[in-house]
């Protein structure tokens, strides 16, 4: 038995859902074919989907058909939900592209085809609605071969002959009548040929033959050698978060641990229903409970890292909340939806109190509005919206970030390189182990990818760059959790400030068909839009194809209809982000100042005489502790007119003892140091610990808690006491007691730490949020927790976040330092008691 995963892809109204119903009917999954117009289709069960008559959310369904276990992923066809469709491509073995015989190949069809080409997915084509077209199969096939690929072959009497022309080996087999089923499977899987089928899903014509071909001409992908997989979707069902993944190697069992998260339940879904299973093997698509912390796109085992989505939202809208709700709670709830759908890119500006979302279109706006109303009970509204810009760089540069307040230390060097348009962000690691320990390297890579880094021109997200960790440095005693986060963010920002940046804006790819006598007016408009286009003619029609900025075309449809008096045709689709032609004007309008952005500083923090001081981005290289790796950025010697012997001597000195720290002039940085030392005082440290979150995140305490939670709690308190004794910080551990009736809460001092039990109806999250706000004026507050929402909240309150895993590593390293220091201090001491015993 082979396992194969398909997705059915199409432009809107091509009959994708109807084809799905017909295939499920032939597989015996349903007894009656549902219809979209009657709101009774098997897969479009969501209220919004049935109301609109379109697929909004992707679903999976697994079933047996002859010799194959097939898993179908039903995907949205509307442009607004293209990101949802693209995410499913990461887990596909094959794709089924549905084309309407009536409408032909649409702009969205071409978008899907380009995506399938990018992700290298073998594809079967089903031409639907043959019962409602005047075009012949030959005409339709000829158009498909012209618009998509010349190796799209119909399954007819010429099928084998067409395949034989693909290569000499197949030709010889065809002539000798030795062509086998495996040969056809191979050319399809290698995307050398694309089978084309014709039929009508509504009338159940050609569907059974199509399914037989899927069974015959597909093969299962080779399994990876260890447990491997990829997360492609997150859903929320009956108050539970589900993580959907595909197993690409090995067998996944209930209770298995993936990246410190344990699988509590495995489900195989068939539409709305599901079956709980104890294990999932290679090729299975499963929904998991317990893996809430794994983001979409997460890979494990030997599964290759996924690439970033090509399709991205290009409009941003401010979310307007009702006046009669608790806004902080509402913002938390809305932000949690972003975990389920990464295409909903929420941004919350704490300083201005503005919550916004980047989105693909108006239908997606309505869907989000209805989802929030159904799930949380309040109605949101939006402002008029604005174009989303992106930023990239034009040259290669090494960014340096240093974070060294008193008793903290981290330095990171990241190489920033420009990539071609549409490549997104690529992350690499070229740091040597003997330079920076592997656990810190992994931390830096995590911090490089965990947030959306902003450019320095307009504060827009960056794209089309490769970010490579090239070197870094830690301190045996002073490096703490969060230090490398600060250094990483500052390194990227410092690199962006040094590089030459470029502003990008979204472009549409368009096609206009107008009558010849009005083409000059259209061309004049396109020239004012700064468009790139080509013109061709067919009889009395002018065909214009090209690309133009979205900000012009998005409002042009009404003018186009007026100019053509309704006789013209305008098609457009997202083409990507390209250079903004009036960059300076847009930068001035937005008015962003990177040096005033407190959340994304461009400079670094260094330490001198027990006090930290701020160094601007353009002077960091004079203070950094590691030399440049990328030679182009290597600073010129500060002093001039060295003799040859002096140069050689200096190079030997640097190789032996490290870089020579100099100051370029007497005036440089003295003013800075004086200003900062007067204004900035290093505050004492305060650590807040979410007790139960840590207990259930650390393996040792989690195992102990399974038998006796009280023992686990006291063990954590002992560990924290030892930690505080070495760090000498204010340490508060908070435990939930909000479910205990009439509980007034308590604060106890246990040796050197404070132990807090929250009162009734107050969670540890609420307490930590309140205390963080109160203490942030007097202490440098750190919060140890892996609760994602809590991390967002405390971050907005001015505290620094430490995940449970980072804190565990920090505690272990601190313990090792204690032992080393004890041994060092006692190494030279003699035991005089034993000496006296020896004499006797």
CA dihedral 186, 187, 191, 197 (to 10 degrees): -110
The whole-angstrom separation of Cα 192 and Cα 603 is: 52
Give the chain's radius of gyration (CA, Å): 31
pLDDT at 193 over 80: yes
The whole-angstrom separation of Cα 772 and Cα 792 is: 12
* 73, 60 Cβ separation under 8 angstroms: yes
pLDDT at 665 over 50: no
> Which helix (DSSP H) or strand (DSSP E) does residue 770 occupy?
helix 764-775
Q: In sequence order, what are the beta bridge partners of 300?
A: 229
> Which helix (DSSP H) or strand (DSSP E) does residue 495 occupy?
helix 483-498
φ, ψ dihedrals at 418, nearest 5° = -75, 145
Token pair belonging to 481: 């959790």
The whole-angstrom separation of Cα 294 and Cα 301 is: 14
pLDDT digits (tens, 9 = 90+) for 812-826: 888 877 777 766 666
Q: What is the CATH number of domain 391-499+603-677?
A: 3.30.230.10
Domain 685-822: top CATH class: alpha beta
What is the SS3 assignment for 512?
Answer: strand
The whole-angstrom separation of Cα 131 and Cα 129 is: 5
User: What is the band of 93 on the pLDDT scale with cuts at 50, 70, 90?
Assistant: very high
pLDDT at 396 over 70: yes
Average confidence (pLDDT) over 585-594: 91
What CATH topology corresponds to 503-586?
Answer: Alpha-Beta Plaits (3.30.70)
**Mean pLDDT of the residues in the chain:** 83
pLDDT at 48 over 90: no
Looking at residue 625, its pLDDT comes to 93
Which range has the worst mean pLDDT, 150-154, 532-536, 554-558? 554-558
pLDDT at 15 over 60: yes
Looking at residue 347, its pLDDT comes to 82
439-452: burial string, b at 16+ Cβ within 10 Å, e else: ebbebbbbbbbeee
pLDDT at 599 over 50: yes
Looking at residue 612, its pLDDT comes to 87
Q: Are the folds of 315-388 and 503-586 the same?
A: yes
Average confidence (pLDDT) over 497-513: 92
The whole-angstrom separation of Cα 591 and Cα 202 is: 55
Which range has the worst mean pLDDT, 155-159, 270-274, 280-284? 270-274
Residues 6 or more apart whose CB falls under 8 angstroms from that of 555 comprise none
Give, as one character, the DSSP assignment of residue 148.
T
Taking the model in full, what pTM does it have? 0.59
What is the SS3 assignment for 189?
Answer: helix
The whole-angstrom separation of Cα 121 and Cα 141 is: 21
Average confidence (pLDDT) over 672-699: 72
Looking at residue 79, its pLDDT comes to 65
* 28, 94 Cβ separation under 8 angstroms: no
Give, as one character, the DSSP assignment of residue 14.
S
User: What is the band of 838 on the pLDDT scale with cuts at 50, 70, 90?
Assistant: very low
The secondary structure of 538-604 as a DSSP string is ETTEEEEEEEEEHHHHTTTHHHHHHHHTT--EEEEEEEEEEE-TTHHHHHHHHT--GGG-SSS-SSE
Looking at residue 794, its pLDDT comes to 66
Question: What's the start-to-end Cα distance of the chain, in Å?
Answer: 83
pLDDT digits (tens, 9 = 90+) for 119-146: 899 999 999 999 888 889 999 999 999 9
Domain 2-216: top CATH class: alpha beta
The whole-angstrom separation of Cα 197 and Cα 206 is: 8
Q: Which has more pLDDT, 736 or 621?
A: 621
Looking at residue 677, its pLDDT comes to 40
pLDDT at 200 over 60: yes
Name which of 404, 405, 428, 425 is nearest 415 in CA terms.
Answer: 428
CATH 3.30.70.870 fits 315-388, yes or no: yes
Sketch the domain layout of the chain as residue ranges.
2-216, 228-300, 315-388, 391-499+603-677, 503-586, 685-822
> Which helix (DSSP H) or strand (DSSP E) does residue 195 occupy?
strand 194-198
Looking at residue 832, its pLDDT comes to 43
- Bridge-based pairing of strands 465-473 and 425-429 is parallel
The whole-angstrom separation of Cα 154 and Cα 776 is: 69
For tokens 């709980």, name the residue: 276
Of all residues in the chain, the percent with pLDDT exceeding 70 is 84
For tokens 């020239």, name the residue: 527
pLDDT digits (tens, 9 = 90+) for 436-451: 988 899 889 989 988 8
Looking at residue 668, its pLDDT comes to 38
User: What is the band of 603 on the pLDDT scale with cuts at 50, 70, 90?
Assistant: very high
The whole-angstrom separation of Cα 57 and Cα 287 is: 15
pLDDT at 579 over 80: yes
User: What is the band of 840 on the pLDDT scale with cuts at 50, 70, 90?
Assistant: very low
pLDDT digits (tens, 9 = 90+) for 161-176: 889 888 888 898 888 8
Looking at residue 478, its pLDDT comes to 87
Looking at residue 265, its pLDDT comes to 92
The three-state DSSP-derived secondary structure of 253-298 is ECCCEECCEECCEEEEEECCEEEEECEEECCCEEEEECCCCCCCCC
What is the SS3 assignment for 24?
Answer: helix
Name which of 400, 382, 397 is nearest 444 in CA terms.
Answer: 400
* 222, 4 Cβ separation under 8 angstroms: no
The whole-angstrom separation of Cα 508 and Cα 674 is: 52
The secondary structure of 340-388 as a DSSP string is H-TTSEEEEETTTTEEEEEES-HHHHHHHHHHHHHHHS---EE---EEP
pLDDT at 487 over 90: yes
Please tell me which of 247-256, 516-525, 535-544 the model is most confident about, judged by mean pLDDT: 247-256
pLDDT at 488 over 80: yes
Which range has the worst mean pLDDT, 37-51, 128-142, 743-757? 37-51
CATH 2.60.120.260 fits 228-300, yes or no: no
Give, as one character, the DSSP assignment of residue 158.
T
User: What is the band of 768 on the pLDDT scale with cuts at 50, 70, 90?
Assistant: confident
What is the SS3 assignment for 134?
Answer: coil
* 42, 32 Cβ separation under 8 angstroms: no
501-527: burial string, b at 16+ Cβ within 10 Å, e else: bbbbbbbbbbbbbbeeeebeebbebbe
Looking at residue 55, its pLDDT comes to 58
Token pair belonging to 702: 């989690």
E-strand ranges in 386-479 read 386-387, 390-393, 397-403, 410-418, 425-429, 465-473
* 513, 634 Cβ separation under 8 angstroms: no
- Bridge-based pairing of strands 261-262 and 257-258 is antiparallel
pLDDT at 102 over 70: yes
Of all residues in the chain, the percent with pLDDT exceeding 90 is 32
pLDDT at 641 over 90: no
pLDDT at 636 over 80: no
pLDDT at 723 over 60: yes
Name which of 542, 5, 569 is nearest 248 in CA terms.
Answer: 5
Give, as one character, the DSSP assignment of residue 392.
E
């Amino acid at each position: 038995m082979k396992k194969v995963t398909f997705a059915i892809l199409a432009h809107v109204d091509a009959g994708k859902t109807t084809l799905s119903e017909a295939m499920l009917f032939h597989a015996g999954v349903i007894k009656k074919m549902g219809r979209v117009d009657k709101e009774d289709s098997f897969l479009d069960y969501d209220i919004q989907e049935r109301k609109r008559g379109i697929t909004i959310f992707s679903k999976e369904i697994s079933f047996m058909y002859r010799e194959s276990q097939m898993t179908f992923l039903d995907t949205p066809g509307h442009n607004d939900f293209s990101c949802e469709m693209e995410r499913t491509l990461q887990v596909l073995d094959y794709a089924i592209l549905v084309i309407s015989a009536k409408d032909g190949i649409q702009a969205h069809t071409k978008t899907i085809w380009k995506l399938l080409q990018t992700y290298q997915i073998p594809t079967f084509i089903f031409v639907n609605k043959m019962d409602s077209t005047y075009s012949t199969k030959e005409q339709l096939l000829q158009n498909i071969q012209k618009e998509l690929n010349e190796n799209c072959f119909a399954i007819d009497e010429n099928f084998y002959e067409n395949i034989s022309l693909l290569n000499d080996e197949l030709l010889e087999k065809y002539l000798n009548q030795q062509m086998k089923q495996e040969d056809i499977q191979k050319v399809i899987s290698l995307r050398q040929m694309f089978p084309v089928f014709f039929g009508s899903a509504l009338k159940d014509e050609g569907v059974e033959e199509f399914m037989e071909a899927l069974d015959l001409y597909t093969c299962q992908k080779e399994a990876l050698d260890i447990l491997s997989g990829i997360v492609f979707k997150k859903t929320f069902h009956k108050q539970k978060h589900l993580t959907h993944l595909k197993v690409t190697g090995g067998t996944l069992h209930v209770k298995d641990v993936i990246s410190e998260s344990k699988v509590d339940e495995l489900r195989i879904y068939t539409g709305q229903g599901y079956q709980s299973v104890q294990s999932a093997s290679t090729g299975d698509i499963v929904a998991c409970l317990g893996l809430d912390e794994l983001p979409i796109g997460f890979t494990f085992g030997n599964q290759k890292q996924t690439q970033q989505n090509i399709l991205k939202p290009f409009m941003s809208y401010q979310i307007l909340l009702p006046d009669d709700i608790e806004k902080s709670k509402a913002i938390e709830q809305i932000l949690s939806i972003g975990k389920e759908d990464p295409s909903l890119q929420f941004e919350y500006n704490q300083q201005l109190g503005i919550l916004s979302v980047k989105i693909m279109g108006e239908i997606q706006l309505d869907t989000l509005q209805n989802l929030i109303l159904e799930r949380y009970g309040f109605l949101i509204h939006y402002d008029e919206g604005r174009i989303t810009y992106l930023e990239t760089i034009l040259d290669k540069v090494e960014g340096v970030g240093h974070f060294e307040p008193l008793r903290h230390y981290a330095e990171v060097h990241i190489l920033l390189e420009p990539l071609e348009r549409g490549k997104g962000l690529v992350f690499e690691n070229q740091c040597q182990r003997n330079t920076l320990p592997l656990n810190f390297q992994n931390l830096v890579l995590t911090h490089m990818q965990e947030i959306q880094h902003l450019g320095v021109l307009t504060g827009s997200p960056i794209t089309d760059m490769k970010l490579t960790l090239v070197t870094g440095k830690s301190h045996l005693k002073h490096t703490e959790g969060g230090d490398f986060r600060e250094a990483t963010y500052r390194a990227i920002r410092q690199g962006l400030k040094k590089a030459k940046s470029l502003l990008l804006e979204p472009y549409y790819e368009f096609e206009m068909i107008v009558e010849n006598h009005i083409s000059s007016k259209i061309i004049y408009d396109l020239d004012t839009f700064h468009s790139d286009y080509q013109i061709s003619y067919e009889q009395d029609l002018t065909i214009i194809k090209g690309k133009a900025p979205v900000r012009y075309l998005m409002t042009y449809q009404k003018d186009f209809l007026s100019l053509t008096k309704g006789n013209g045709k305008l098609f457009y689709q997202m083409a990507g982000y390209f250079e903004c032609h009036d960059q300076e004007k847009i930068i001035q309008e937005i008015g962003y100042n990177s040096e005033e952005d407190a959340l994304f500083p461009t400079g670094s923090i260094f330490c001198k005489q027990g006090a930290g001081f701020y160094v601007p981005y353009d002077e960091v290289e004079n203070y950094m502790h590691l030399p440049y790796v990328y030679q182009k950025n290597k600073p010129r010697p500060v002093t001039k007119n060295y003799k040859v012997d002096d140069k050689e001597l200096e190079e030997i000195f640097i190789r032996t003892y490290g870089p020579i720290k100099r100051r370029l002039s007497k005036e440089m940085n003295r003013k800075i140091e004086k200003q900062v030392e007067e204004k900035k005082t290093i505050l004492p440290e305060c650590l807040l610990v979410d007790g139960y979150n840590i207990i259930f995140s650390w393996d040792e305490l989690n195992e102990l808690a399974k038998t006796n939670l009280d023992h686990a709690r006291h063990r954590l308190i002992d560990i924290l006491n030892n930690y505080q004794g070495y760090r000498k910080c204010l340490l508060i551990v908070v435990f939930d007691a909000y479910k205990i009736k009439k509980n007034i809460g308590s604060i106890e001092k246990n040796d050197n730490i404070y132990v807090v039990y929250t009162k009734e109806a107050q969670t540890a999250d609420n307490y930590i949020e309140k205390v963080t706000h109160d203490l942030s004026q007097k202490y440098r507050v750190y919060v140890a927790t892996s609760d994602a929402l809590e991390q967002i909240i405390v971050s907005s309150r001015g505290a620094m976040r430490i995940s449970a895993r980072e804190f565990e590593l920090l505690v272990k390293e601190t313990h090792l330092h204690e032992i080393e220091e004890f041994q060092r201090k006692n190494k030279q001491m003699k035991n005089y008691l034993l000496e006296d015993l020896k004499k006797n």
